[in-house]
Structure 1
C-alpha cells in the first residue's frame, strides 16, 4: 500500500513518520505540510518526496496518515476519502459533530477503510485487557483519570499547540478515556454531569445504556508528579485496573497500520473506524455544551 503523510509537527516526527517508514507492507511515498521548510526537512530525513500540493500527493497514494490539528484533519480526510484513499486518522476525529459526520459519510460513500489512532486500542497489553473486560458482564461503575502535564511541565513539544490550548484536555485526552470505557461499559445514554477543575481539567459523569455509570477526570495541566492514566472497573467479578503498556507510540501506530491494511483488504470495518470516532466526538460535544452552560 502506497501511503503519504499529511502533517509535519511533533507527532508526525515522533510517531507517524517512523512508523510508516518501518512498516514492511507500506510504501512511504511522501509528506505534505502547510509549511515548505519543515515539509522538505521531514521528507528528506526519510528519503521521500516533499509535496507542496496535497492533491498531487493524493494522486500518488492508496492511503494517507494524518497528523494535523482536528479541524484541518476533518477537511482533508473528506477530500482524501472522496479521492478513494484509505485513512489512518488521529483523535479527535474532528472538532465538531458536523465535521466528523462528514468524514463518515465520505468514507461510506467511497467505500474506503478508516482507522482512528486511539493509542490504548493498539497496544497489546491494554487492548487484551479491554477485550477481556468487554466479554465480562455485571459492570457497576468505571473510573478513568487521564491526567497530563502538557501545560504544566517543562519543554513539552505539544504545549504550543493552538488547538490543544483552545480545546483543552476534554478533546485531547478525553478520546483516550472514552476509547477504553465504551467497549467495556457500552453505549453512553447521556452525559449527566460536567464540571471544570483547575486549569483545563474537567470532570464528567456518564450514564451507560447497560446500567453502569462512569466518571472521567481529564487534564493537561496536572502537576508533573501527579500525571498519569488510570482506568478502574468495578462489578460482579470484582475490581480490575487497566495495565500499563511498555509499547511506544511508534509500535502502536505499526499495529494501527496493520488494522488499516486488514480493513482495506477484507472490507470489514475496524472497531476504531471513523464511525467510532464520530461517536466519541458526539459525547465530547455533549460534555462541552454542558461545560459551556448549554
Structure 2
C-alpha cells in the first residue's frame, strides 16, 4: 500500500490515490484552494482521507510542498492537522491528510450554510482550538514555528467542530525571516507585517485593505460593536463576552509587535468564554443575555 516513510508520513503509490478518489472524479471534490483541489479518498471501508493535488510548478511550489511535508512529518498536536502521507507523480505533488468532515472554517462561514451550524460557543471553541495550536508552535516547538498563513480556509474542522491548523507550506522558524522570504510570505492582511515587509512599506501598500483599519472603529466602540457581529449569532451571546473578545482582537492587531499579547495570554483570555463541555472553563447555568432584549410587556 505504501512505498516508504519520511518521519511519520508515508509515501503513497499514485495508483492507490487514483483508485481511492475514483480517478479524481469531480464528485469526489471536497474543496478547492489556491494551491489545488482536495478530494475525498476512500481506501477501504474504514480508511477515509483527504487528498490535496497541488497544481503549482516551479521552485516556489516545490519548496512549499517540501516545507509542508517536513513540518507535518514532525509536528503532532490535537489542533494541527495530521499528514498521513504524500505522493510524487511526475510533475504533480499530492498530500494525504486525515479527513476533516466539516471542511474549512471558510466553507462553514461563507458556504451554503452561511455559518448557521456555528453557534457563538462553537465559534469560541474554534478560536480556543486555534490558539492552542498556535501556542504549541510558538512555545513548545524548538525553534518556534511561525505559520504565516493563518486564515479561515486553513482552519479545518472535524466531525465535532474541533479545529486544526493546516497548510504549513509558508511556515518558517522564528528569526529566519528576511527579504528572500517575501514571495513566500502568505496572505496580505493575515500575516504580521514584520514577517512580510518593513512596516512602513506594509502600511503604505495595504491601508485600505487591512482588517484592523476597517474594523478598529467598531471594535473599540461598544455601541457599534454588535453591528459587525455575524447576523446569524448577533442576538445570542453575553455582551460582556463580546466586549472581551473585541478587546483581545484589538490587542492582537497592534502595529507595534511588542504591544501584542503572547498567544498564551490570548488563549487564557478566551478559555473562560468556552463552555466546559466544549473544552473551556465556562459553566453555563442560565440563558445568556441577548444583545437586543425583548421589550417588557408590563
* TM class, shorter-length: under 0.3
- In terms of fraction of residues, the more strand-rich structure is 1
Larger Rg, first or second structure (1 or 2): 2
- In terms of fraction of residues, the more helix-rich structure is 1
Q: Which has the higher contact order (CA 8 A, sep 6+)?
A: 1
Q: TM-score, structure 2 length as denominator?
A: 0.26
